[in-house]
Amino acid sequence: MKKSKQLLTYRQTTSIRLECEINLDLLFSSDVEWRRFESKWKEFKRFTPFHSDIFERSGKRLIYASEQLIPHKKANRPSLLLVLGNPATQSIKNGMFFSFEKDRQEHRFWKSILKPAGVLDLATDAKLPIKKQNELRKRQLLNIEYNTSFRIGLCVFITMPSAPGGKWGGVAGVQKLIGSKALKELEKEERIRVIEVANKFIKRKGAVITFQKNAWENLRSKNDPVYKIDKARRNKLKGTLNGAPHIPLYGVPPTRLSGPCRDVLKKFLSVKSFPKM
């Protein structure tokens, strides 16, 4: 990773792991913002699982691990880039998106959303340890070893991880840590990354699907609908990717609303609805 005066730099170090670095001097423009961040950092650290394995502070740089899984293997099927909010640290620690639910069972993202929506049906073995299940799932995604109609890529909109829930969980936890003004600055950098990923991944036919408000708001084109949860529930968040009008963009309810998320996703994903590119 090059040391530079960029706010956010990143590089892919494995098939799923991103190494990211934020220049906090560029993120915070005042002493007040710095003091607010420092006052919250210790509590964020205390309530974030596997924090010491994921984050490192070095002077005015914040270094952390994140996740992104984009298969390089080609397939004659539409490519779907699924854009989540931000990673949970437990998933980064375990080397796979949505590694498990809090009771260490298969996550609803896989069994209650993607599978019944017809997006992705991965072979699973409940008898395998969590680590082996995650390795199997990752291998299937990278090698496109599944029979559903799509080629799936996974990324997050905000690379900075947080707890899987609670006051420091999700994108809201990141905003609580750095402040809304700093988050907007960070979003500008993240938008560039995701759009670049989408343009490389979706060559002929496909779409970007967002599962979170910040992702939709930053990736939508200017005249697309503003995010409202009721619009997400009613299948009304449809548009095109910012700067890439040839790529359809859809917004679905968050994964915590597994039923509505599944139902809206299923409505969007008729293969016939994808224009050739």
In a domain, 20, yes or no: no
CATH number of the domain enclosing 192: 3.40.470.10
pLDDT at 133: 86
pLDDT digits (tens, 9 = 90+) for 86-104: 999 999 999 999 887 666 6
pLDDT at 272: 55
Question: Judging by beta carbons within 10 Å of its beta carbon (0-12, 13-18, 19+), is residue 48 exposed, middle or buried?
Answer: buried
Quickly state the pLDDT bin for 126 (edges 50, 70, 90): confident
In a domain, 6, yes or no: no
In a domain, 202, yes or no: yes
Quickly state the pLDDT bin for 2 (edges 50, 70, 90): very low
Looking at the predicted structure, is the pLDDT value of residue 36 above 50?
Answer: yes
Q: How many domains does the chain have?
A: 1
State the average pLDDT over residues 167-176. 96
Question: Which segments of the chain does DSSP mark as H helices, in order?
Answer: 24-27, 31-46, 51-54, 89-94, 108, 115-117, 130-143, 170-178, 180-201, 213-219, 229-233, 258-268
pLDDT at 200: 96
In a domain, 264, yes or no: yes
pLDDT, mean over the chain: 92
**Residue 209: domain span:** 70-161+179-273
In a domain, 59, yes or no: no
In a domain, 9, yes or no: no
pTM, two decimal places: 0.94
